[in-house]
């Protein structure tokens, strides 16, 4: 599946319209993709294609002197082990779960579109990064198979990387780009 800027931007803006979110893509410049994630967290790199970025905390007064806000400042060796690899289906579900607080697929009830239409938007987002991309998250809702997330579980755990009470996210790594999809709740 190929994707164009208009469909990708539309999907991103629509899905995360009600979330406190940070959605950004940057170039993959390092073998160690965590360094590229940290560059995204500090807003140090532009989107290589000039596509949409969602930064709900861009104007927060807490950002003065703290370019990572609402992320906490962490070294790569702290971040890397907190991001566990998941499969593509789990990444698709996670993109939908990040649309509101609580990291759950029950968030889909707040949309007028059907679950199939929302899943199509999530697949549009993933298509940007290609079929060979890998996916990582700080969310733990372990499914029955390794690398899966089970969204039928009532509770979840996560490894915080931000300063809010809840921060859940997805990192997408391709050969040329790194995407960061994060949702925050206080």
Rounded to an integer, the average pLDDT of 152-170 is 86
Q: How far is CA 89 from CA 43, 140, 141, in A?
A: 28, 15, 14
Q: What is the pLDDT of residues 95-127, one digit of tens each?
A: 999 998 888 888 899 999 999 999 999 999 999
Tell me the whole-structure pTM to 2 decimals.
Answer: 0.94
pLDDT for residue 90 is more than 90: yes
- Tokens 């999809």 label which residue? 181
Question: What angle do the packed helices 5-15 and 115-127 form, to 10 degrees?
Answer: 130
Q: How confident is the model at residue 130 (pLDDT cuts 50, 70, 90)?
A: very high
User: Confidence band (pLDDT; 50, 70, 90) for 68?
Assistant: very high
**Phi, psi angles (nearest 5°) of residue 155:** -110, 165
């Amino acid at each position: 599946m190929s994707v164009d800027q208009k469909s990708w931007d539309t999907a991103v803006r629509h899905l995360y319209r009600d979330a406190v979110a940070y959605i950004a893509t940057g170039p993959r410049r390092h073998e160690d993709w965590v360094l590229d994630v940290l560059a995204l967290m500090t807003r140090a790199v532009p989107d290589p294609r000039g596509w949409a970025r969602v930064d709900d905390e861009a104007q927060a007064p807490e950002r003065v002197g703290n370019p990572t806000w609402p992320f906490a400042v962490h070294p790569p060796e702290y971040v890397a082990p907190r991001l566990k690899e998941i499969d593509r289906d789990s990444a698709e579900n996670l993109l939908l779960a990040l649309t509101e607080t609580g990291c759950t697929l029950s968030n889909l009830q707040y949309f007028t579109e059907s679950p199939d239409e929302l899943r199509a938007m999530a697949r549009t987002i993933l298509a940007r990064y290609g079929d060979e991309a890998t996916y990582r998250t700080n969310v733990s809702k372990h499914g029955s198979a390794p690398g899966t997330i089970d969204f039928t579980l009532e509770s979840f755990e996560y490894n915080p990387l931000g300063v809010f009470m809840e921060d859940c996210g997805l990192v997408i790594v391709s050969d040329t780009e790194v995407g960061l999809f994060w949702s925050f709740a206080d």
